Amino acid sequence: MKLLVLGLNHKTAPVDVRERLAFGPDIIVGALRDLTNCDGIAEGVVLSTCNRTEIYCAVQDCSEEAARHWLSRFHGVEQERVGPFLYAHLGRDAVTHLLRVCSGLDSMVLGEPQILGQVKTAYQTATDCTATGKLLGRLFQHAFSVAKTVRTETAIGSSPVSVAFAAVNLARQIFSDLTQQTALLIGAGETIELAARHLHRAGIGRIIVANRTVERAHELAAQFDGYAIALAEIGNHLAEADIVIASTASPLPVLGKGTVERALKKRKHRPMFMVDIAVPRDIEPEVRELSDVYLYTIDDLQGVIDEGLRSRQAAAAQAEDIIAFHADEFMAWLRSLDAAGLIQDYRQRAEELRDDVLARAQRQLDAGKPPTEVLNYLAHTLTNKLLHAPSSRLRQAAREGEAEILVAANELFQLDPNRAISTQ
């Protein structure tokens, strides 16, 4: 049994191709059953996110073509259309790939942690519908353990590499405990949503979302137990905010110096942390002149992001070493399965020889032969039968100059370690 990964991701395929091969939650169970019913594919896991679609298989021999055919057939897409965007990994490369994916080394944002949860969900779904077995079960549990080791032993996820992450990290530096703080998020786009998620994970006390379209603000705020206001209401609520993060598409600033000044008076000059990550800017630059305001723009954050990216890249190099070690460890376990099968076959053959010789010896006893003579026959015949095949192979190895086989046999049978092996 061999391991195979077949897939595409944000680095190999544009979004329109990724969309064609995506697996929604409503079809994933049927897809897994269909996949594992294919000839040569014994186990399967399907991982489908916005950035990647991958199938992990335990296959007989090399069933890459079967997997490619299944993927295109299931989605009704010609192989020629998607073939150039697909990658395939076999054996150790497949193991390494999964370990890198789980550790965030193959993500669009280096070191992001969300992918590990997505892989765990994909594996659990496959397990629940009995699409996994011994091989993929061991592989995925191993991958989860390695990902935890990478997180523990490197700084792969500790440095900010997105604007939203950098903004929240700076807020945590200013307010060490966010549980008592209120955040006002101006806008409701992707960056603001990501900032809301980071704040929520950091334990923010309260979230207010202000947006031109109040319905959209309500949708976002509801995800984090916050409440929504219109942009025109910002002045009434600004004094409540300890943290302000702004990112709208407005051509003009939505927050002026006068509004901030009035809010600071209401706050009795308690500090306010503000991040303007919009282009054009949402907060008037003159706000920076006010005491008790920490105002950062996207340019200010870029240095934090660049430093974080360098830190993650250094951590990624450490992570690659960890992954290489654990990939070898898994492959050693996989090879041991082959040895286990060989040992089982050899033991069965030896037991068959034993039973045959024992039956002959029993017949001799029944015929009245002396027990001592029968025991000698039993020992001599069984020894000859057990050693016949290995002895013949060793003589052949000597004739053909296969010294490595002779050396291996010397070690295997624990013979004289000083014996000189010559094939001359």
Do the annotations mark residue 327 as ligand-binding?
Answer: no
What is the number of other CB atoms lying within 10 angstroms of the CB of residue 268? 8
Collapsed DSSP state (helix, strand, coil) of residue 59: strand
- Quick one: tokens of 168? 């929240």
Contact 55, 45 (CB under 8 A): yes
Q: Which two three-digit tokens encode residue 384?
A: 């000859």
By residue count, the chain amounts to 424
Residue 210 β-bridge partners: 186, 229
113 marked as binding residue: yes
Distances from the Cα of 137 to the Cα of 45, 57, 181, 227, angstroms: 10, 11, 44, 43
Q: Around Cβ 10, how many Cβ atoms within 10 Å? A: 15
Does residue 51 have a known ligand-binding role? Answer: yes
Angle between helices 190-201 and 214-222 (to 10 degrees): 30
Q: Let me know how many helices (H) and strands (E) the chain has, helices first.
A: 15, 10
- Residue entry with tokens 């080791």: 149
Q: Does the annotation flag 418 for ligand binding?
A: no
Q: Is 190 annotated as a binding residue?
A: yes
**Which residue from 211, 231, 234, 232 is spatially nearest to 221, judged by alpha carbons?**
211
The whole-angstrom separation of Cα 1 and Cα 60 is 5
118 within 8 A of 143, measured Cβ to Cβ = no
Report whether 188 belongs to an annotated binding site. yes
Helical residues (DSSP H) of 161-251, grouped into ranges: 163-174, 190-201, 214-222, 234-237
* 124 in a labelled binding site: no
Q: Is 52 annotated in some ligand binding site?
A: yes
> Which position has the token pair 């039968």?
385
Q: Which amino acid is at 106?
A: D
151 DSSP assignment: H
Establish whether 181 is an annotated binding residue.
Answer: no
The verdict on whether residue 64 carries a ligand-binding annotation is: no
Q: Is 189 annotated as a binding residue?
A: yes
Q: Evaluate whether 291 touches 299 at the Cβ level (below 8 Å).
A: no
129 is catalytic: no
State the Cα angle at 347 between 345 and 353, rounded to 5°. Answer: 105
Q: Is 49 annotated as a binding residue?
A: yes
Identify the bridge partners of residue 276 per DSSP, sorted by sequence position: 246, 297
**Which listed residue (38, 50, 62, 102) is catalytic?**
50
283 belongs to an annotated ligand binding site: no
Q: How far apart are CA 388 and CA 397, in angstroms?
A: 14
Where is 233: in which H helix or E strand? none
Annotated binding site: 49-52, 107, 112-114, 118, 187-192
Annotated binding site for substrate: 49-52, 107, 112-114, 118
Annotated binding site for NADP(+): 187-192
Catalytic residues, by residue number, are 50
